[in-house]
Structure 1
Amino acid sequence: MATQKQSSSDEAKTNLETLILELPRERGWIVDQDIHLLNGFWYPTWVIHGLLALQQHFKPHPNDVLLASFPKSGTTWLKALLFSIVNRATFNHDDMMHPLLKSNPHELVPWLEVYASSNPTNPRPPESLLFHTHLAYSSLPEHIRSSSCRIVYVFRDPKDVFVSFWHFFNKLRPKESSSISLQEAFNQFSRGASPYGPYWDHVTGYYKASIQFPNKVFFVRYEDLKTEAVFHVKRLAEFVGWPFSEEEENEGVVQKITDLCSFDKLSNLEVNKNGSLIRNLPSTRWTVSVINKAFFRKGEIGDSNNHLSEDMREILNQITEDKFKEIGLTTFVPLVKTE
């Protein structure tokens, strides 16, 4: 029996490797990490391993919460906020032993593709109802999209996303390897052939889902969260099923959670200044150690102006306008008014 099971596993692995070899390929932003075009989106090899494992074996629960994002769109911040919101009955925001004070948000909210890549036959992280993914909406397993679990999607100005993404990848690469230049990465990003891209299709997929299923998909703009954090944190809590009570609001709990999860607070914690996060990617035989401070670069709105030329900014602005105008989405006007 064990031999038959092993034979089936080996056959599935062989079929997967054959599939990956047949997919269109581009250079990734880290050495030895090519990206492959699968159903309209470019994913690293290990992501495809995890994606297929999720499609085959992941079973969502009705009260699951899935945070989705294109990389460097506010993922770390949203992980901290969601963890604090859904666990506030267990971990008081004033408690000096609060997990966020001792652990990086990425340790507290499992990344589904990473876990699934390491646990292909049982890809659901144990003892958690809060997860994260960088997969496009159309790449999510059908049983997630058709379930009653809630999805929170955060998006951000693509110029800031690109710059932050490029800086982050350069921190991940081995010191002995060459980095991808800003211009080369820009060319890939702007034509949609960068890791997890095309960016605009990624955002559009979740935006359309939020219009079609407003009770299932919560769509929020990073810039709105930055300027009206308390207002949007209250909306977020209500959406995921943990609304703040009148008593909590009167006691300033919303503001305290917002402060706890702020960039200044998290980035200055010892665990995020000197700690590190280990990622095992068995499909690539990689073990990646990411320093936690790499997740906290600046978090500023408009920082891309300090790195991109005027021509680069104009190119991305024009692509964004062309891609988003048909669905009525903008990166520059608040999506929800606070008044």
Structure 2
Amino acid sequence: MASLAWQEQNEEEDKLISSLPKERGWSFPYVYLFEHFWCPSPLIRERNIFQKHFQAKQSDVLVTSFPKSGTTWLKALTFAIVNHKNFSKENHPLLTSNPHQLVPPLYTFRGNIHDQILQLSYMPEPRLFGTHIPFPSLPRSILESHCRIIYICRNPFDTFISSWAFFNKIKVEHLPTLTKEEAFEMFCNGVIEFGPWWSHILGYWNESVARPNTVLFLKYEDLKEDVNFQVKRVAEFLGCPFTEEEESNGVIESIAKLCSFEEMKDMEVNKSGTINFEIKRFENKLFFRKAETGDWVNHFSPSMVEKLSKIIEEKFSGSGLSFKMHY
């Protein structure tokens, strides 16, 4: 009976996906317009399974982002902050595991769904998950549980360059490589996995304004400028603030150093390891490129700057959200 129900659900998903508008994706042959964002078909299936079966807990922590906005860094920091009383520098899990393993993707169902739901219920609390899914499409149980959500945003210029470099490396083999010009047109039209990027950013931004105790909105550039201050801010938001003794003993600085791009990139696990990330296996080193702010100036033409600037002005006007460009 269970297998029959599973087959019927798959048929329903096939019918739904075939009815959706589609475009060529950056790393997938097609992305589909699902609940107002562009998504690969496997993730539509997994999201719908989670909507029906996943039960969030109030103690859960969700690390969210648009792709290539500082996700790996924020996952490392969040794990280290939540567990800052549990591990020393010498035996820290980040020394031997990629941040995406320690803060796994929210949508990870494979095989027997009932067994995996059971496994999730046995995870130690607080459970840490990551996702690129836009805020309105998160499972209802997450929205109703008031679990804490941390979102990281990066200026769209650097986000585009980082996305173009990354998606060309992880694309399905037979897909032609996107030129910068092709990718830029798609980006400006919002056609990118989990896009439109402006809707993604504004969804979490507006929720952080409405519910600041539930959604914390961070900027990648702020982390770069003063990581110690942001680490302290995240710890307070998550309800695990540092004591005065911990601060005086340099715990915040220690976390910042452990999770820094230079330290993480140089770890053996991130130089040679691999991870089964959502729907395909990636080399860990792909998550560590440059981590710079302002690299976009080396890639943008004046006409590209003008076009993207106009889109930012149009989409974010009146929102109260601005971006640090770092020329």
**TM-score, normalised by the number of residues in structure 2:** 0.94
Q: Which position in structure 2 is the counterpart of 1:332? A: 324
What SS does the aligned partner of 1:327 have?
coil
Q: Which position in structure 2 is the counterpart of 1:284? A: none
* Farther off after superposition, 13-22 or 271-280: 271-280
Q: Which position in structure 2 is the counterpart of 1:140? A: 138
Which digits, 9 at most, give the CA deviation of each residue in 1:56-85, with x for residues without a partner?
A: 111111111001100000000000000001
1:63 to 59, 64, 69: 59
1:219 to 217, 230, 247: 217
Q: What pairs up with 1:106-145 in 2 under 5 angstroms?
A: 106-113=100-107, 115-116=108-109, 120-121=113-114, 122-123=116-117, 125=120, 126-128=122-124, 129-145=127-143
Q: Distance in 2 between matches of 1:151 and 1:302?
A: 27
Question: Does 1:294 find its partner at 2:286?
Answer: yes
Q: Which position in structure 2 is the counterpart of 1:5? A: 2
Q: Which position in structure 1 is the counterpart of 2:300? A: 308
CA contact (8 A) 1:53 1:117 kept: no
Q: Distance in 2 between matches of 1:203 and 1:147?
A: 22
What SS does the aligned partner of 1:145 have?
helix
1:81 to 77, 90, 115: 77
CA separation of 1:104/1:208 partners in 2, compared to 1, >3 Å: closer, same or farther? same
**TM-score, normalised by the number of residues in structure 1:** 0.90
Structure 1 residue 179, shift from structure 2 partner = 1.1
Which digits, 9 at most, give the CA deviation of each residue in 1:199-231, with x for residues without a partner?
A: 011000001101111100000111001101101
Q: Which position in structure 2 is the counterpart of 1:150? A: 148
CA separation of 1:118/1:190 partners in 2, compared to 1, >3 Å: closer, same or farther? farther
CA contact (8 A) 1:49 1:117 kept: no
Question: Does 1:26 find its partner at 2:23?
Answer: yes
* Farther off after superposition, 115-124 or 188-197: 115-124
Moved over 6 A (4+): none
Give the % identical residues. 44
What SS does the aligned partner of 2:318 have?
helix
Unaligned runs of 5+ in 1: 282-287, 335-339
CA contact (8 A) 1:47 1:117 kept: no
CA-based RMSD of the aligned residues comes to 1.8
Q: Distance in 1 between matches of 2:221 and 2:203?
A: 19
Structure 1 residue 36, shift from structure 2 partner = 0.4
Q: Which residue identity does 2:31 align to in structure 1?
A: I
Q: Which position in structure 2 is the counterpart of 1:17? A: 14
Q: Distance in 1 between matches of 2:206 and 2:32?
A: 25
Unaligned runs of 5+ in 2: none
| Number of aligned residue pairs | 321
CA separation of 1:323/1:177 partners in 2, compared to 1, >3 Å: closer, same or farther? closer
Q: Distance in 1 between matches of 2:166 and 2:23?
A: 19
Which digits, 9 at most, give the CA deviation of each residue in 1:268-305, with x for residues without a partner?
A: 11111122223463xxxxxx331111101001001111
CA separation of 1:118/1:242 partners in 2, compared to 1, >3 Å: closer, same or farther? farther
